[in-house]
Amino acid sequence: MSWFESFILGLVQGLTEFLPISSSAHLRLTAAFAGWHDPGAAFTAITQIGTEAAVLIYFRKDIATIVGAWCRSVVAMVRRDGSMRGDHEAQLGWLVIIGSIPIGVLGVTLKDQIEGPFRDLRLIATTLIAMGLVLGLADRLAARAETGGGRHRANGGKTLRDLGVRDGLIYGCCQALALVPGVSRSGATISGGLLMGYTREAAARYSFLLAVPAVLASGFYELRDAGEGHVAWGQTVFATLVAFVVGYAVIAWFMRFITTRSFMPFVYYRVALGILIFILVAAGVLSPHAGESAA
């Protein structure tokens, strides 16, 4: 991988990680369209550390409050003290842990598939279209529930204070779908949240918080491949830094965007891109396994 490739791939990672269009699919597609080698699942997981660092900084106050409350709740449990029972921030901490279980279990179980068959461009095209339609349905239902007139409000629907174990596990299962490139972590969890009746802001905020332990664990786990020479250290670190800078700007924009706008532009984009991939593969212009031999 050249330095130019690492810059472009880091840029793509930062631009697409927080948008409901799948960063892993775009990294795979960028390499395929450019005629580069597939950067691979390990490269994707490591560069996501950069974008998750952006989440840690952007939501630093929320995360610090949640972690602090969760730690106090653990101490209270050891002391058999019920003073933290019912504390919202502590509950969020426990729900993030519970919601991270599905992707952790499936990530280890399906590791070989994630690094191999799941990166087939035909599967990516299918998931882009299918998840796009689900996001579109969730967006329309959310708009109807909020106003009934098409204008979006931030104060309608359930908030994170309504989040319980059941909804936390559903969020976690939605996040686990993102193990397949093309699904999109934010797209799946936000869609799940909207379908459960949460506001756009609440669905997006919890989506980003829920991703932190899963993405960081995956990224640091894949660092061992870099140490074994499977990933170029310099280019990967450079791409991760680029992803961090770009990702921070994108998340700040996206959190403002969702309070007043529909997700439909992302839906149209996903469906159009999926159809384009199918056309190019069917025409023989693009191989469904382009670049995989070097991944």
Tokens of 130: 């299918």
What's the pTM value of the predicted model, to 2 decimals? 0.83
Query: Tell me, what amino acid is at 130?
Result: A
pLDDT > 70 fraction of the chain, expressed in percent and rounded: 91
Taking the C-alpha atoms of residue 193 and residue 160, their distance in angstroms, rounded to an integer, is 10
pLDDT in tens, 120-170: 899 999 999 999 999 999 999 888 877 655 444 444 588 999 999 999 999
> Mean pLDDT over all residues of the chain?
86
| Sign of the four-CA dihedral 37, 38, 42, 43 | positive
CA angle centred on 52, ends 129 and 183, rounded to 5°: 10
Q: Cα–chain-centroid distance for residue 206?
A: 11
CB 81 within 8 A of CB 142: no
Backbone phi, then psi, for 224, in 5-degree steps? -65, -30
CA angle centred on 231, ends 230 and 237, rounded to 5°: 160
